[in-house]
């Protein structure tokens, strides 16, 4: 496996070690391929298809985050066909969810001249914010279904399995068992999910409250639930 692979990326001959993905190979050649769902700490699933590239001889475009570099490949990372796909995916995405807290995707949209108003008929995904625990909120109107949260909750990190999906297709949403509030699930509030969320859909509750203008003191009160406390000092 330690043989090296020769391929051509954007006209540039590139030699890379066997086993690397096209995304890695391009990076080694100093070529940046845009990505959305890809994350260094999670399993790549080739969901967003922003990282697709044109490989000569392939019927469809190829997701560079999972496709392995092979000898003799001729790869175009920024062809017209690739750019059309990227632009359209970005336009469709922005017509679906709130990307206001996803600066990287916004930058990408500018680069690909994606028109946020391209799809005037679009029914947006706008479920209400879920505020069911003291640690983080879930605002699935911002969720782009990158799967990172589900994966870090499972085998990619935490082995807690509190999250999965509900629905399918455009109706897919990240959910808990029968939509239970987080504390009643297996969630251990490690917040690995918050740590990998790229769009602010998962956010520390404290940050969310501070954004709304509450002072740090008020936040401490608000993160406490309304349960009445009847505490007495048994040591005293």
Partner 1 sequence: MIQPDRIVSTTCPYCGVGCNLRVHVRDNTIYRVTSPFDAVVNKGNLCVKGRFGYDFIYHKKRITTPLIRKVPQKPGQRTQAFDRSEWREVSWDEALDYTADRMVEIYQRDGSHAMAVYCCAKATNEDNYLLQKLFRALFRTNNVDHCTRLCHAASVVALQMAIGSAAMSNTASEVILSDVFLLTGSNTTENHPIISLQMKAAVEKHGAKLIVVDPRRIEMVNWATLYLPMKPGSDVPLFSAMAHVIIKEGLMDREFIEQRTENFEAFAQSMEKFTPEYAEQISGVNRNLIIDAARMYGSAERAAIFWALGIAESTHGTANALSLINLALLTGNLGKPGTGLNPLRGQNNVQGASDSGAMPWHYPGYQEVDVEENARRWEELWNIEPGGLNRERGLTTTEILGAAHPGGVRSLYIMGENPMMSEPNLNATRKHMENLEFIAVQDLFINESGAFGDVFLPAAAAFEKDGTFTNTDRRVQRVRKAVDPPGQARPDWEIICDLAARIEARLGRPNSAFWAYRHPEEIMLEMGRAVPAYAGVRYEHLEPVGPQTPVPTPGHPGSPYLYADTFPRGRAKFHPLEYVPNAEMPDDEYPLVLSTGRVLEHWHGGTMTRNSSLDELHPVALLDIHPEDAERLGICHLDPVRITSRRGSVVARAKVTEKANVGVVFLPFHYREAAANLLTNDALDPQAKIPEYKAGVVRVTKARWEELPTDDYQPRGRY
Partner 2 sequence: MTDIDLSLLTPVLEKYGPQGRTALLPALHAAQDIYGYIPEPVAASIGMALNVPLADVYGVIDFYAMFYRAPVGETHIHVCNDPACAFAGADSVFKRMTQTSTINGGTGEMRVTVELAPCLGLCEHAPAVLVQEKPAGRTQVQSWKDLVRGSIPHQRSIVGGDIRLLTRNCGKNRTTSLEEYEDSGGYAGLRKALSLSPAEVIAEVKASGLVGRGGAAFPTGVKWEATASAPGDPHYVVCNADEAEPGTFKDRVMMEDDPHRVLEGLIIAGYAVGARKGYIYVRGEYIQAYHTLEEAQEEAEAAGYLGENILGTDYSFEIEIRRGAGAYICGEETALFESIEGKRGFPRVKPPFPTTHGLFGQPTAINNVETLANVPLIMTIGAEAYRQMGTEKSPGPKLFCLSGDVVRPGLYEVPFGVTFRHLLFDLAGGLRPGREFRGALFGGAAGAFATPDHLDVVLSFENLRAAGLPLGSGVITVFDDTRDLYDILLRLSRFFAEESCGKCYPCQIGTQRQHEILVRMAGGDIRPEDYQRLTDIGRTMTDSSLCGLGQTAASAVLSAMKYWPQYFTTRQA
The answer to the question of residue 184 lying near partner 1 (CB under 8 A) is yes
The answer to the question of residue 66 lying near partner 2 (CB under 8 A) is yes
CA neighbor of 146 nearest in space, from 200, 227, 103: 200
**For residues 82 and 76, what is the distance between their CA atoms, to the nearest angstrom?**
8
Closest separation in Å from C-beta 236 to partner 1: 6
Phi and psi for 102 in degrees, rounded to 5? -125, 75
Angle between the N-to-C axes of helices 103-111 and 80-94, in degrees from 0 to 180, rounded to the nearest 10: 140
Q: Which does 47 bind (CB under 5 to 8 A by kind): partner 2, partner 1, none?
A: partner 2
The answer to the question of residue 231 lying near partner 1 (CB under 8 A) is yes
Residue among 8, 24, 45, 106 that touches partner 2 (CB under 8 A): 45
Structure tokens at 214: 């509450």
**For residues 60 and 83, what is the distance between their CA atoms, to the nearest angstrom?**
14
| Residue with tokens 């048994």, as numbered in its chain | 234
Q: For residues 41 and 84, which CB has a smaller minimum distance to partner 2 in the complex?
A: 84
Give the angle subtended at the CA of 177 by the CAs of 159 and 169, to the nearest 5°: 95
Q: Which does 58 bind (CB under 5 to 8 A by kind): partner 2, partner 1, none?
A: none
Q: For residues 65 and 73, which CB has a smaller minimum distance to partner 1 in the complex?
A: 65
Structure tokens at 116: 């946020």
DSSP H or E stretch at residue 12: strand 12-17
Q: Which does 119 bind (CB under 5 to 8 A by kind): partner 2, partner 1, none?
A: partner 2
Closest separation in Å from C-beta 47 to partner 2: 5
Coil/strand/helix, residue 37? coil
Among 6-14, 22-30, 44-52, 212-220, which window interacts with partner 2 (CB under 8 A)?
A: 44-52
Binding site for partner 2 (CB under 8 A): 45-50, 52, 60-61, 63, 66, 81, 84-85, 87-89, 92-93, 95-96, 118-119, 121-123, 144-145, 154, 161-172, 175-178, 185-186
């Amino acid at each position: 496996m330690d043989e090296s692979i020769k391929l051509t990326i954007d006209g540039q001959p590139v030699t890379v070690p066997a086993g690397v993905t096209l995304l890695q190979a391009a990076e080694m050649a100093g070529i940046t391929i845009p990505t959305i769902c890809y994350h260094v700490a999670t399993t790549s699933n080739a969901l967003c298809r922003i990282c697709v590239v044109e490989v000569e001889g392939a019927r469809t475009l190829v997701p560079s985050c999972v496709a392995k570099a092979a000898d003799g490949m001729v790869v175009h990372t920024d062809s017209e066909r690739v750019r059309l796909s990227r632009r359209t995916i970005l336009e469709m995405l922005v017509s679906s969810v709130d990307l206001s807290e996803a600066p990287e995707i916004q930058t990408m949209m500018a680069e690909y001249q994606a028109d946020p108003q391209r799809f005037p008929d679009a029914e947006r995904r706008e479920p209400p914010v879920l505020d069911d625990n003291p640690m983080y909120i879930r605002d699935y109107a911002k969720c782009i279904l990158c799967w990172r949260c589900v994966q870090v909750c499972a085998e990619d990190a935490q082995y807690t399995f509190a999250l999965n999906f509900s629905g399918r297709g455009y109706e897919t949403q990240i959910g808990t068992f029968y939509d239970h509030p987080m504390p009643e699930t297996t969630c251990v509030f490690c917040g690995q999910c918050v740590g990998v969320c790229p769009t602010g859909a998962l956010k520390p509750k404290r940050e969310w409250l501070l954004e709304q203008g509450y002072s740090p003191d008020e936040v401490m009160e608000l993160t406490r639930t309304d349960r009445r406390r009847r505490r007495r000092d048994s040591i005293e």
